[in-house]
Amino acid sequence: MNETGTNPYAITLIPGDGVGPEITEAVTRVIAAAGVKVEWDEQSAGQDVYFAEQTPLPRRVLDSIRKHKTALKGPVTTPVGTGFRSVNVALRQELDLYACVRPCKYYPGARAVHTNVDLVIVRENTEDLYAGIEFKKGDRKTLEVIDYINARTGYSIRSDSGISIKPISVFGSERIVRFAFEYARASGRRKVTAVHKANIMKHSDGLFLDVARDVAKNYTDIEFEDKIIDNMCMQLVQKPELYDVLVLPNLYGDIVSDLAAGLIGGLGLAPGANIGDKYAVFEATHGSAPKYKGLNKVNPMAMMLSSVMMLNHLGEREAAARLDAAIAGIVAEGKHVTYDMKPSADDPTAVGTSEVADEIVRRLG
């Protein structure tokens, strides 16, 4: 019986592509070992599906998530420059998963740049340059947009330009900043920092900052400050202990997530969740690492820690804590860990993806 009494959970499982299937297999095993029963509704998506079904994100995948409300997702490859648009972006937009939550916490034993890091990145997931409003160089529409802008602003955009639009709304900013404060309050955190480039982009980032300042007035129990993105990057590298919850528009959130992951020992330890008012999709920060596909090599811990977030979301707090402790124990011991957690990448004592899962299953035993 699951702790909440609703046994078993029905959850969508998207193995993804690249290293996705290997790490999702490892994760489903440790969830079972933690004593949580799940009926996985497995749904393929991504590159291979694109060739078979002419779309990388078939409707059946969205229907499954809408039905079960919760999904665990492996990474999905997005072709660079050409081909289909990102499945990840489409999923977040279709299901209005507007908050991407990415904790970056130091686990003793990890090969981290800093040991005093315990950050949560709250990234807006639906707007900004990731909204997908793009104009291809040379298209008729693009030339019309260029003519319009040139006529209206007095600027002179070159006719051989491509254009990406950066929409940031009051609605989108308000709900993500509110989410960050609610998250901070619920998890006993002390400070929210809004990150932006409002000095340059006054009508998009400037709007985000104005809204953040307004929302902050409703949360006097939590400290609020703002930082310009470039300064924030430098500060995070030098003094990450000064920061707690960061709230950022989409693009900065994506980049700073990887920076913060680097601080605590790499992408192998960086989990995440995409959360909306109705649905939640849990996935690691890292991508599909195609060069390691099928090699049983990469670290499954980021995905396992994403599943810890999922278990907490489901109310399975005890199982989540036990799984988190088992992962922490393995990191601290440094024996049953993958190449990325060893002093050198070709360390012969590094274990594979499935051996990390074996050890966690043994410890949860």
Residues lying near ligand NAD in the complex (CB under 6 A): 75-78, 88, 267-268, 283, 286-291, 298-299, 302, 340
Residues in the chain, total: 365
254 flagged as catalytic: yes
Q: Which letter, b or e, does each residue of 34-70 get, where b requires 16 or more Cβ atoms within 10 Å of its Cβ?
A: bebebebbebbbbbebbeeeeebbbeebbebbeebbb
Name the active-site residue from 63, 160, 230, 347: 230
Cα angle value 38/41/45 (rounded, 5°)? 135
CA dist 286 and 266 (Å) reads 9
Across 34-117, the runs of DSSP E, i.e. the strands, are 38-42, 70-73, 99-105
C-alpha distances in Å from residue 254, one per residue of 2, 89, 130, 319: 34, 12, 10, 29
Distance in Å, CB of 147 to ligand NAD, minimum: 33
CA dist 196 and 297 (Å) reads 37
Across the chain, the runs of DSSP E, i.e. the strands, are 9-14, 38-42, 70-73, 99-105, 118-124, 134-135, 163-164, 191-196, 223-228, 245-248, 273-275, 280-282
230 flagged as catalytic: yes
Distance in Å, CB of 288 to ligand NAD, minimum: 4
Name the active-site residue from 73, 105, 197, 297: 197
For helices 205-216 and 170-186, give the axis angle rounded to 10 degrees: 40
Indicate the residue among 324 and 340 with the shorter CB distance to ligand NAD: 340
Indicate the residue among 105 and 178 with the shorter CB distance to ligand NAD: 105
Beta carbons within 10 angstroms of residue 139's beta carbon: 13
List of residues 6+ apart from 121 with CB closer than 8 A: 100, 101, 102, 103, 104, 246, 248, 253, 256, 257, 260
List of residues 6+ apart from 205 with CB closer than 8 A: 168, 196, 197, 198, 249
Indicate the residue among 273 and 302 with the shorter CB distance to ligand NAD: 302
Distance in Å, CB of 164 to ligand NAD, minimum: 16
278 burial class (0-12, 13-18, 19+ CB within 10 angstroms)?
Answer: exposed
Indicate the residue among 76 and 180 with the shorter CB distance to ligand NAD: 76
Q: Which residue is nearest to ligand NAD (CB)?
A: 287
Name the active-site residue from 41, 128, 254, 324: 254
Indicate the residue among 196 and 286 with the shorter CB distance to ligand NAD: 286
Residue whose C-alpha is closest to residue 279's, from 7, 2, 11, 4: 11
Residue whose C-alpha is closest to residue 74's, from 325, 251, 304, 277: 304
130 flagged as catalytic: yes
Indicate the residue among 128 and 340 with the shorter CB distance to ligand NAD: 340
Distance in Å, CB of 111 to ligand NAD, minimum: 12
Distance in Å, CB of 33 to ligand NAD, minimum: 20
Indicate the residue among 125 and 142 with the shorter CB distance to ligand NAD: 125
Indicate the residue among 181 and 252 with the shorter CB distance to ligand NAD: 252
Name the active-site residue from 130, 183, 279, 339: 130
Distance in Å, CB of 97 to ligand NAD, minimum: 12
The catalytic residue positions are 130, 197, 230, 254
